[in-house]
């Protein structure tokens, strides 16, 4: 079964109908579901989503969305761990020439560990790191 990593940008675009990439994200997700793709994300990514969409007017929708994600059988959520944090921090520390955030570095570590080459994201940093992005 093919695997695709789902980044913060994709989850936000799917959840927020006002996001400029909302329609694109819905189309990509529909295609991934049709192809029975296993989706992979991290608790670090979900933390970013919750932080980005924490305003009172969207908070309940964010809570329901993330709770719903946790029930999906096609979604593997990699838990936060000290080891994963350290591995991401090591990459972050080694790549001072890039503008990659720590959560992105952790995502890259997970993608490499699971041999995932494609990311459901609009973030160009994934391409800089050698991955294919879908938005």
Q: What is the DSSP letter of 19?
A: S
Q: How far is CA 40 from CA 15, 80, 125, in A?
A: 17, 13, 18
> Tell me, what's the pLDDT at 98?
96
Whole-model pTM: value is 0.95
Please state, in angstroms and rounded to a whole number, the distance separating the CA atoms of residues 76 and 74: 7
Please state, in angstroms and rounded to a whole number, the distance separating the CA atoms of residues 29 and 101: 24
Share of the chain above pLDDT 90, in %: 99
Q: Where along the chain do its domains lie?
A: 6-133
pLDDT single digits (tens) 11-65: 999 999 999 999 999 999 999 999 999 999 999 999 999 999 999 999 999 999 9
Strands (E), the chain: 3-6, 38-42, 75-78, 118-120, 132-133
**Confidence band of 6 (pLDDT split at 50, 70, 90):** very high
**Sign (positive or negative) of CA dihedral 133, 125, 8, 78:** positive
Q: Which CATH architecture has domain 6-133?
A: 3-Layer(aba) Sandwich (3.40)
3-state secondary structure of 133: strand
Q: What is the DSSP letter of 79?
A: P
> Tell me, what's the pLDDT at 1?
76
Q: Residue 14: count other Cβ atoms within 10 Å of its Cβ.
A: 20
């Amino acid at each position: 079964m093919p695997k695709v990593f789902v980044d913060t940008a994709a989850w936000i675009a799917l959840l927020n109908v006002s996001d400029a990439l909302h329609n694109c994200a819905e189309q990509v997700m529909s295609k991934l579901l049709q192809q029975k793709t296993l989706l992979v994300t991290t608790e670090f990514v979900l933390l970013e989503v919750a932080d980005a969409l924490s305003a009172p007017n969207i908070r309940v929708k964010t809570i329901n969305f993330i709770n719903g994600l946790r029930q999906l059988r096609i979604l593997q959520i990699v838990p936060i761990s000290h080891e994963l944090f350290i591995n991401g921090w090591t990459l972050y520390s080694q790549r001072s020439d890039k503008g990659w955030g720590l959560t992105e570095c952790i995502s890259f570590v997970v993608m490499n560990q699971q041999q995932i080459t494609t990311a459901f994201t609009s973030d160009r940093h994934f391409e800089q790191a050698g991955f294919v992005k879908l938005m």
